């Protein structure tokens, strides 16, 4: 499929919408094979949505028939200084699509882009409530999550004012983040952690929906209640739980006890991680963790759509509702895009189509966030937050987190 930005029709449409106007690669993540939070069904570029629903296959079309035949701007308005909302519909040989864009100017000093989460990591809430709780101007859904089980996000989540919510050393680390100086970036963000008294122990997870085999997971009060054997994927042998309070080990046992509120830190080890934890005696325990590069805000997704102007995805088969976040280096704007899908008025996008749309909108880097019934955009309208898109479930799905735009 040719980049749509090369067609006069698109250029005209972008001017009307006020939006402004490659090569391909692929990778697979071996950690996904042991990650219980991922849906069993995934395409060439990983899962499309947390719900695991198979999407309708995109009809085969000739390249020159794949260009939009009609495009209509439905709405365009300023939400606040530096924040613009635009929606449009278009139809091509594959069918109709409806899209929604939030453009956030990072040069507008009154704005803050941040991570939003429910009070506890192991819980969910809909995007509208997440945005209301933060007094947001606008928001979209965020990371894929352990749907139907813990509800926890799969990767890394950090809020600038509230700190780290969840993280992992490897396996689901493709992220959009803000540096300590507020510069928007797309790249890998990894957890690192150590137990000073056990130099050989490796902390692989922080408030994660599971602990990596051979690793150690740290759980704080932000997680909620102790996860028990859910954190070890049902493994009951060669596991260990250590409770640390006020910098001291107060319990070290081979049985995992679920359902109790986390007070202090709960460390859960599997395999080699359990062996290391077994050697922690009653007494001092210094547990430290951080994110590599020390970003101020982080949210992860499944796959980089665009990296340094190059499209990274190859899956042009399944059409789904989509959410993406990208960076326009020319304007220093963050682009938050939601494409409706699974309905007659909007067929959704494949991963390749999503990447092309983000590129057409000006993104130099972009990340795919959770899609399907999770795809939601809310924004201020007539003095209150309202849902802007058409969620495919017919109602708002509770999700693990989101990206919010707030006033400083």
Mean pLDDT over 10-37 rounds to: 40
- The whole-angstrom separation of Cα 212 and Cα 384 is 42
- The whole-angstrom separation of Cα 301 and Cα 298 is 10
**CB-based contact 302:174 (threshold 8 Å):** yes
pLDDT interval class at 71 (50, 70, 90) = confident
Among the listed residues 402, 205, 203, the one whose alpha carbon sits nearest the alpha carbon of residue 300:
402
pLDDT interval class at 37 (50, 70, 90) = low
pLDDT interval class at 35 (50, 70, 90) = low
Mean pLDDT over 188-209 rounds to: 96
Whole-prediction pTM: 0.90
Number of H helices, E strands in the chain: 4, 28
**CB-based contact 130:119 (threshold 8 Å):** no
Interval 154-182: pLDDT, tens: 999 999 999 999 999 999 999 999 999 99
Structure tokens at 2: 């040719």
DSSP states of 63-98 as a string?
A: GGG-S-SEEEEEEEEEEETTEEEEEEEEEETTEEEE
Give the pLDDT of residue 23.
Answer: 35
The dihedral sign for the CA sequence 136, 140, 146, 149: positive
Residue 360 has pLDDT above 90, yes or no: yes
Residue 294 has pLDDT above 80, yes or no: yes
pLDDT interval class at 147 (50, 70, 90) = very high
Q: What is the largest CA-CA distance in the chain?
A: 71
pLDDT interval class at 15 (50, 70, 90) = very low
208 or 43: whose pLDDT is higher? 208
Among the listed residues 51, 57, 33, 54, the one whose alpha carbon sits nearest the alpha carbon of residue 350:
57
Interval 227-276: pLDDT, tens: 999 999 999 999 999 999 999 999 999 999 899 999 999 999 999 999 99
Residue 134 has pLDDT above 60, yes or no: yes
Token pair 């040719």 is found at: 2
């Amino acid at each position: 499929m040719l980049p749509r930005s090369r067609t006069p029709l698109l250029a005209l449409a972008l001017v009307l919408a006020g939006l402004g106007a490659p090569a391909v690669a692929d990778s697979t993540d071996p950690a996904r094979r042991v990650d219980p939070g991922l849906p069993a069904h995934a395409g060439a570029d990983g899962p499309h949505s947390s719900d695991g629903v198979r999407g309708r296959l995109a009809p085969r079309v000739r390249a020159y028939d794949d260009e939009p035949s009609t495009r209509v701007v439905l709405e365009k308005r300023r939400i606040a200084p530096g924040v613009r909302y635009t929606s449009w519909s278009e139809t091509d040989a594959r069918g109709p699509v409806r899209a929604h864009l939030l453009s956030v100017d990072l040069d507008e000093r009154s704005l803050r882009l941040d991570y939003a989460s429910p009070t506890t990591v192991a819980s969910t809430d809909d995007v509208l409530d997440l945005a209301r709780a933060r007094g947001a101007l606008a928001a979209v859904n965020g990371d894929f999550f352990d749907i139907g089980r813990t509800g926890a996000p799969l990767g890394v989540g950090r809020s600038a004012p509230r700190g780290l919510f969840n993280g992992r050393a490897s396996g689901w680390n493709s992220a959009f983040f803000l540096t300590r100086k507020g510069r928007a970036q797309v790249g890998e963000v990894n957890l690192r952690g150590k137990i000073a008294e056990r130099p050989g122990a490796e902390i692989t997870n922080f408030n994660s929906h599971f602990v990596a085999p051979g690793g150690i997971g740290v759980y704080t009060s932000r997680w909620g209640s102790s996860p028990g054997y859910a954190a070890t994927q049902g493994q009951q042998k060669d596991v260990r739980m250590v409770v640390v309070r006020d910098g001291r080990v107060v319990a070290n046992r081979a049985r995992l006890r679920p359902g109790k509120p986390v007070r202090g830190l709960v460390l859960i080890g599997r395999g080699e991680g359990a062996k290391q934890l077994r050697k922690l005696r009653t007494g001092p325990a210094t547990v430290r963790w951080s994110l590599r590069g020390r970003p101020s805000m982080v949210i992860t997704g499944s796959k980089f759509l665009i990296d340094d102007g190059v499209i990274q995805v190859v899956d042009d088969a399944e059409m789904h509702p989509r959410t993406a976040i990208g960076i326009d280096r020319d304007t220093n704007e963050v682009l938050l895009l939601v494409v409706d899908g699974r309905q007659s008025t909007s067929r959704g996008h494949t991963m390749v189509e999503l990447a092309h749309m983000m590129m057409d909108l000006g993104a130099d880097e972009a990340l795919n966030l959770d899609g399907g019934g999770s795809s939601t955009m809310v924004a201020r309208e007539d003095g209150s937050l309202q849902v802007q898109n058409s969620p495919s479930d017919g109602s708002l799905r509770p999700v693990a987190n989101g990206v919010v735009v707030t006033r400083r």
